[in-house]
Amino acid sequence: MSAAHKVQIIVSDAEGFFRRLTDAATALTIYYNASIGDGVSCSLDTHPMAFIDLESKTPTREMNSLPGHIAAALGTNLPQENCRQIGRSESDRHIGLHWQVDVAEISQYIELPFAKSPKLRRVMAVIVADAILSARKTPGQRIHYSRRKGWWQQAFRYFGTDFSYTTVVTAVDALLTVGILIDHDLRPPSLATGIQSSYRPSPWLESIKLSKVRRHPGELIRLKNTAKVLVDYKDTERTHRERRFLQKINRMYENADITLDSPNAVYDGDLIHFTDHTVDSSKRSLYRVYNNLSWTAGGRFYGPWWQSCPSDDRKRILIGGDRTEEKDFPALHPKLLYAYAGEALVGDAYTLPGWERKICKRAFNVLLNASDLRAAEGALLDHVDGCKLAARQLIDDIKARHPKVQQYFHTGIGLWLQNIDASMCRSILSEMCIKKGILVLPVHDSFIVPHWAVDDLDKVRWAVFDRAVLTVANK
């Protein structure tokens, strides 16, 4: 479903209206969340006024007809001023500020607007470099950023001293004025949508090739709140230790010969173009993301280009010119969940009569990650043609298949399981990269190594798995 068919509705009786949506709006997909500020989620019981995300299952030809279409589906009159299109797509991305740029090189191609300070000029150069790379990688992609001072205060550690509300907003406004950035979608910072302002790079930027731009990873230990917004935290010995560990691994990646030899790829400098997306092969650094303001929720490793590479093409990755193999842990989270319950998983966790295995696997993971039953049902609608009855039946069938662990479904336990698999990943990187000197490229719970190191990897990863099972069984 295109993002053009999404709307947000402002309601004064959010809880009551939300119930009416759930019961009556069969023509809508309802996203079970609401917001009261820029990236700030809220509970419908505690905030009587909120924005609710909706998406029509029946595409409409005219953008302006969607509010009426929604109102008709609800059987109610909806004031036009209470309904707005969401001009955001899942392919949009946040502004990239982790670039090391040469201001003089950029000035050879583009006349930057007047800046009152060297710092502001550096910020402009980084935003322009980010726009150029975006135009080359994904033409037409929107880039969003916050115009709320509180957001930048919370995110200070992630962008450095040059980047603040004042410097970024001033730079963006100046670049929009001269046409380097275009199509500004300005969102007032007080508007309770959770949607940030955004722009597009001017199309002519695509023709510029910069040779002196390098990406630096920024903060390697990242913490998000329950609204998935990056927040500051107090460093401890543990965060210092984990940051040093990642720096050591990242230096190995930076110095390694990691390439891709795929007939499906088109190479453009650091960019590798596939049929439906592009990856930046200069992105080699790992960072960790923890969730829900907790060091025991999430913590997975993200960042390097091979994680965004199609699985079939990952088979063509070369390390030091050698072909590679990728090994994973089949049904890792179901096995860990059963161990936590003091039980053993028998058979394939994702095989259910009458259902495709792929859908069952997706549904099982949804049940692990959803915070409640309603959220689980909503997350499954796209996989069962929007049919609520089918979503509920699939959930019931999975519970019947897994009665010994069903009490953990839709409790949000998935983030804790991710924390376990992230700890496993760290152990494997430590044993293989640091102690044995064998490069390993992680893709969450799978690992890419030179073909000659598969036996070493298998010994290490299964030993790590056995320790993880014992750990969760004793929780």
Q: What is the SS3 assignment for 95-117? A: CCCCEECCHHHHHHHCCCCCCCC
pLDDT at 215: 83
E strand residue ranges, 394-467: 441-443, 446-450
- Paired sense of beta strands 221-223 and 287-290, if any: parallel
221: DSSP letter: E
Residue 7 bridge partners (DSSP): 54, 85
Residue 361: closest CA among 372, 373, 371, 351 = 351
Rounded distance, CA 83 to CA 71, Å? 10
Mapping DSSP onto H, E and C, the string for 302-330 reads ECCHHHHCCHHHHCCEEECCEEEEEEECC
- Written as one letter, the residue type at 464 is V
Residues 6 or more apart whose Cβ sits within 8 Å of residue 85: 4, 6, 7, 63, 66
What is the pLDDT confidence band of residue 442, given thresholds at 50, 70 and 90? very high
Which range is least confidently modeled, 91-100, 394-403, 460-469? 91-100
pLDDT at 72: 45
pLDDT greater than 90 at residue 23: no
Question: Under a CB-based contact definition with an 8 Å cutoff, are residues 365 and 354 in contact?
Answer: no
Two tokens, residue 341: 């319950």
The half-sphere exposure of 51 on its side-chain side, counting CA atoms within 13 A, is: 23
Q: What is the pTM (predicted TM-score) of this model?
A: 0.76
Tokens 């965004």: give the residue.
Answer: 308
What share of the chain has pLDDT > 90, as a percent? 64
pLDDT at 126: 96
Rounded distance, CA 206 to CA 430, Å? 40
Q: What are phi and psi of 196, to 5 degrees?
A: -85, 165
pLDDT per position as a tens digit, 205-254: 999 988 888 888 889 999 999 988 889 999 999 999 999 999 999 999 99
Two tokens, residue 78: 């909806």
Two tokens, residue 281: 């092969």
pLDDT at 214: 84
pLDDT at 199: 95
The interaxial angle of helices 414-429 and 454-473, nearest 10 deg, is 140
Q: What are phi and psi of 416, to 5 degrees?
A: -70, -40
Q: What kind and span of H or E run contains 301?
A: strand 298-302
Two tokens, residue 13: 């009786």
CA 24 to chain centre: 32
pLDDT greater than 70 at residue 87: no
pLDDT greater than 50 at residue 21: no
386: left (phi over 0), alpha (psi -120 to 50) or beta: left
Which burial class, exposed, middle or buried, applies to 216 when counting CB atoms under 10 A from its CB (0-12, 13-18, 19+)?
exposed
The pLDDT of 252-261, averaged and rounded, is: 95
Question: Under a CB-based contact definition with an 8 Å cutoff, are residues 60 and 24 in contact?
Answer: no
pLDDT at 86: 36
Burial code (b: 16+ CB inside 10 Å, e: under 16) for 315-346 equals ebbebeeeebebeebebbbbbbbbbbbeeebe
Rounded distance, CA 89 to CA 82, Å? 21
The pLDDT of 447-462, averaged and rounded, is: 98
pLDDT greater than 60 at residue 35: no
Residue 94: closest CA among 149, 32, 158, 170 = 158
- Written as one letter, the residue type at 435 is K
pLDDT at 193: 53
pLDDT per position as a tens digit, 129-155: 999 999 998 888 999 999 988 888 877
Residue 288: closest CA among 218, 353, 377 = 218
What is the pLDDT confidence band of residue 358, given thresholds at 50, 70 and 90? very high
pLDDT greater than 80 at residue 185: yes
What share of the chain has pLDDT > 70, as a percent? 80
321: left (phi over 0), alpha (psi -120 to 50) or beta: left
pLDDT per position as a tens digit, 270-323: 889 888 888 989 899 999 999 999 999 999 999 999 999 989 999 999 999 999
Which burial class, exposed, middle or buried, applies to 181 when counting CB atoms under 10 A from its CB (0-12, 13-18, 19+)?
buried
pLDDT greater than 50 at residue 444: yes
Residue 161 or residue 316, greater confidence: 316
Rounded distance, CA 336 to CA 334, Å? 5
Residue 284: closest CA among 312, 252, 262 = 252
Question: Under a CB-based contact definition with an 8 Å cutoff, are residues 319 and 290 in contact?
Answer: no
pLDDT per position as a tens digit, 384-429: 999 999 999 999 999 999 999 999 999 999 999 999 999 999 999 9
The pLDDT of 189-204, averaged and rounded, is: 77
